[in-house]
Amino acid sequence: MIRKATISDIKAIHKLLQDYGTRGELLPRPLSGLYDHVRDFSVFEDPASGAILGCCALQFCWEDLAEIRSVAVHPDHVRQKIGSQLVQTAIQEAGEYKIKQLFVLTYRPGFFQKYGFRTIDRAKLPLKIWADCITCVKFPDCDEVAMIRAIESGV
């Protein structure tokens, strides 16, 4: 079941992101930053156990631009379409907010290509999105792939 995250989900989200961050597959986020952005997150909750099995954030950058970030699924539950459902939920939510373009910075471009994202040069993204990058441990040597997709309202 996908739902909006609550404060009580933050530690589970943090653990998911840290696990992937340790393996170098995702940029980890500090716990304090997750509390700041709890409203950006959706989670996949196991209806039987109540455990958080996946997360995804939709962060608004500008009036018509948003980023899908922090997509993570518990390693024991990959290949069960949890990540796909979370990304589709984020795309739908962006459409409801009349966002015209979504972007991702990812180590898994093949995953996002399935949802209409295409690779672009990071320099084509607006300067506003680089605020988080300046504090990243990989700055200025980012090795993530920038991707973008256009969306229609309500899609």
Specify which residues 69 forms β-bridges with.
Answer: 57
pLDDT band at 128 (very low <50, low <70, confident <90, very high): low
| CATH number for region 2-150 | 3.40.630.30
pLDDT band at 155 (very low <50, low <70, confident <90, very high): very low
Containing 21, the helix (H) or strand (E) segment is helix 10-22
- How many other C-beta atoms lie within 10 A of the C-beta of residue 80? 14
Q: What is the pLDDT of residues 41-96, one digit of tens each?
A: 999 999 999 999 999 999 998 889 999 999 999 999 999 999 999 999 999 999 99
- How many other C-beta atoms lie within 10 A of the C-beta of residue 91? 21
pTM to 2 decimals?
A: 0.87
